[in-house]
Amino acid sequence: MTNLLEISGLKTEFTSDGRIIPAVDGVDLTIKKGEIVGVVGESGCGKSVTSLSVMRLLPRKGARISAGSIRYNGTDLLKLSEDEMRKVRGNEIAMIFQDPMTSLNPVYTIGAQLSEAVILHRGYSKKEARSHVIEMLKSVHIPRADKLIDEYPHQLSGGMRQRVMIAMAMSCSPDLLIADEPTTALDVTIQAQILELMRELQNKQGTSIMFITHDLGVVYEMCDRVLVMYAGQIVEQADVATIFEKPSHPYTQGLLKSIPQFDKVQARLDSISGQVPLPGTVKQGCRFASRCPAVHPKCLAEAPPLFQLDNGQMSRCWLHESSVVKEAALR
């Protein structure tokens, strides 16, 4: 499979009170055609900022991409004009946002909002767009689609609004879909339905998906490959089976240990001590060092690179350097 999206050395910064805050710091990421890649990590680790950087939807004031490239089908999106990017956004690359209530405009009908993209990108007439929107609503298993098209967002449940957002994102058959916490506000039953729906649409249209979440159970269910982010960097990446069976980074290990085990009684859940450092506050060493149970003196002094392991796994941890491993074994 060839790479559909290639992010290289991405750095995205925010400016606040004269300070530069590095929200995303040197991220490398690839997504192949037809692949579902999960991006996981705690809140504030840079997952959503990475996705907004790809879409070029960062705030116009106080935010900028300071370095790196974002290549989609070989074209660097950062070099496109806003008019050129508008032709890509919603047509070739689409996004499902976290909160469907704030993403849908409350004063326009569902039909008006879904029609806009196909009229703009596909040149449909209003009549053609209406028919297409009804079919898209049916494809996401929304009942009475011909009636709902004339309703407003507040008339729908949270699950229905999320289905509408998926229909909107898929209306132009994009090659890449970015789903940013698409099931966060939904109950478990609706969540399962939404995940099944996304998998169904992906199988039908061959769409690649960048799936952003903090829910490792969803990752196991949905994804082919997983990238773990911490404090603006990718600290581990591997296929989903390897991540769950043989996590190599102490942070990933901590995340997996915090998942409830239903096959055994637990007095209390495991947790990772401390908090994610604020962006830009760790001046040297590993950003996870203050919370790491396997911290080594070198971790406090030098920032680790992303080590390539024998099984194709990648991990940003000094424990993969032979000299550190030997020294730790002697202690």
DSSP letters spanning 245-257: HS--SHHHHHHHH
pLDDT at 269 over 80: no
CA distances from 98 to 69, 128, 314 (A): 25, 29, 28
Is 1-92+173-275 a CATH 3.40.50.300 domain?
yes
The pLDDT confidence band at residue 135, using thresholds 50, 70 and 90, is very high
Cβ partners under 8 Å of residue 281, min gap 6: none
Q: Where are the domains of the chain?
A: 1-92+173-275, 102-171
pLDDT at position 329: 42
The pLDDT confidence band at residue 158, using thresholds 50, 70 and 90, is confident
pLDDT at position 100: 66
Mean pLDDT of 167-173: 87
pLDDT at position 18: 83
Computed over its alpha carbons, how large is the radius of gyration of the chain?
Answer: 21
pTM for the model? 0.89
Q: Convert the pLDDT of each residue in 1-19 to its tens digit.
A: 689 999 999 999 999 888 8
Backbone φ, ψ for residue 69 (5° rounding): -140, 150
Q: Convert the pLDDT of each residue in 23-42 to its tens digit.
A: 999 999 999 999 999 999 98
Distance CA 289, CA 295 (A): 6
pLDDT at 50 over 50: yes
Distance CA 112, CA 320 (A): 54
